[in-house]
Amino acid sequence: MSTKDNLLQAHKAMIAVLDHKFQNAPEWKAFRAIDKALMDLIAEPSTAASNGSGAKRSPRVSSKSSYLQLGIEALNAAGEPLTTVKMIEFISARREIPGDLNHAKRNIVSTFSKSDGLKSVPWRGGRAWWHVTRPVPKESAGTSANS
C-alpha cells in the first residue's frame, strides 16, 4: 500500500470514530462538510490524470454535495428558516437535480425529515426548515407565506 493509501485508510478510520462520538455536534457537521470537499479535491486530480486525453471530463460540479449538506449551507447562509421551495432553489443552484422535480422534492424532504440536524418549524404562516440545535429566530411571527 502506498503512503497516500495508508493515510486515506487512517483518515477513514478516524472519521468513523469521530462521526460516532460527535454526530450531533453542529461544529462536527460543518467540519465534515469541509472534509468531504477536501477529500473530493484530493480525488479529483487522479481522476483527471487517469482520463488520459481528458475527453470525458466531469460536469461543471465534479462532486455532489448531499442534499443535507447543501440544506445546512443554505440555512447558514440565510440565517433564518427556509421553506422547502427556497431550499430546492439553493440546492439546484449548486448541483444538478436529476429527473422529475417532484421526485427530487420528495427525496429532499425525506432526507431533511430523517436528519438529526434539521427540523420543520412554524415560519411566517407556513413551515420551514431549521437547525435542530438552534432556537428558531424571533422573526417566525412574520406573515409572509409565499416563500
Based on the domain organization, do 81 and 33 belong to the same domain?
A: no
Q: What pLDDT does residue 63 have? A: 52
Based on the domain organization, do 73 and 30 belong to the same domain?
A: no
Based on the domain organization, do 139 and 69 belong to the same domain?
A: yes
pTM of the entire predicted model? 0.53
Based on the domain organization, do 30 and 73 belong to the same domain?
A: no
Residue 57 is assigned to a structural domain of this protein: no
Encode pLDDT of 5-53 as tens digits.
Answer: 778 777 877 887 787 788 788 788 878 878 877 776 666 544 334 444 4
Based on the domain organization, do 37 and 70 belong to the same domain?
A: no
Residue 51 is assigned to a structural domain of this protein: no
Based on the domain organization, do 13 and 73 belong to the same domain?
A: no
In terms of residue numbers, what domain contains 98? Answer: 64-147
Grid coordinates given for 22: 460527535
Q: Which residues contact 127 (CB under 8 A, 6 or more apart)?
A: 83, 84, 120, 121
Q: What is the rounded average pLDDT of the residues 125-137?
A: 94
- d(CA 39, CA 33) in angstroms, rounded, equals 10
Based on the domain organization, do 19 and 81 belong to the same domain?
A: no
Number of domains into which the chain is organized: 2
Based on the domain organization, do 78 and 35 belong to the same domain?
A: no
Say if residues 97 and 112 touch (Cβ distance below 8 Å). Answer: no
